[in-house]
Amino acid sequence: MKDIASYIDHTMLKADATTDTIRRYCEEARRYGFRSVCVNSCHTALVHEELNGSDVLTCTVVGFPLGAMSAESKAFEARKAVEDGADEIDMVINIGALKEGDRDKVRDDIKAVVEASRPAIVKVIIETCLLTDEEKVLACRLSVEAGAAFVKTSTGLSTGGATVHDVRLMKETVGDRALVKASGGIRTREAAEELIEAGADRIGAGNGVLLL
C-alpha cells in the first residue's frame, strides 16, 4: 500500500470544499504517506501549515479548470501560491490556442508559469479528452520546451480522464525529459497500477484513501 500511496496526489478541488475538509485531506495524507495534497489556490497556505514537518508536498492548481485566461493571470496565481507555500503547481494549458496550432502562445503560456513558480515545479495539464493524439504529442513537446517538470492528463472535470493509451503516448513523447501524471477517474488500485505500468510517475486521485 505504501508503494502506491507514494505516487498519489491526494486531491480536493471541489468548489464547496471547507477548511475542515482540507484539514482532513492533510491528515489523511500524513497518515497514508501520500506524495502531496492538491488544492485550489485559496487553500495553499492552510495546506502548507497543516503539512509542516511532514514529507507530504503542497500542490496547487493554477488556471483551473479551463486554462482559458491570460498567461499573466496564471503567472500571478502561481507566484502567489508559491509565496503561500506551494511546492508544486499544476497548470492548465490554453487548449484553444493548442487546437489552433498557435505553438508560440501555448509555449509562452506555460513558460510564464514555470518562471513565476520557481523554485516550485510545474505540471502541465493538457486535458487529453479534448485533444487528438497529434495534439497530445504537440502539447507534451511544448511543455518540455517551456521547462515543465511533468505533463498531466486531465483536470478530472471535463469529458474524460486518464487512459492507459494516453499515459503511454505521453511517456513515449517526453522520454526522460519530463515525468507523467495520470489524473481523472482513477478510483481503484488496479487502475492506478495499470497507469503506473504504462508510464505514470504520479497519480492524481480525488479520494486516495478509497483508491488504496
What average pLDDT does the segment 153-159 reach? 97
Q: For residue 109, give the C-alpha cell.
A: 503560456
The answer to whether the CB of 78 falls within 8 A of the CB of 99 is no
- For the question of whether the overall pTM of this predicted structure is more than 0.95, the answer is yes
DSSP state of 6: T
User: Which pLDDT belongs to residue 2?
Assistant: 52
Phi-psi region of 150 (alpha: psi -120 to 50; beta: other; left: phi over 0): beta
Percent share of the chain, pLDDT over 90: 98
Q: Is the pLDDT of residue 15 over 90?
A: yes
What average pLDDT does the segment 51-73 reach? 98
The catalytic site residues sit at: 90, 152, 181
User: Which pLDDT belongs to residue 3?
Assistant: 86
- The CATH number assigned to the domain holding 180 equals 3.20.20.70
The per-residue pLDDT for range 2-13, each reduced to its tens digit, is 589 999 999 999
The per-residue pLDDT for range 71-99, each reduced to its tens digit, is 999 999 999 999 999 999 999 999 999 99
Count of domains observed in the chain: 1
Q: What are the φ and ψ backbone dihedral angles of 68, each rounded to 5 degrees?
A: -95, 65
What's the domain range around 174? Answer: 2-211
What average pLDDT does the segment 57-78 reach? 98
Q: Is the pLDDT of residue 37 over 90?
A: yes
What is the band of 204 on the pLDDT scale with cuts at 50, 70, 90? very high
What average pLDDT does the segment 112-128 reach? 98
Nearest to 121 by CA among 70, 81, 65: 81
Name residue 182's beta-bridge partners: 203
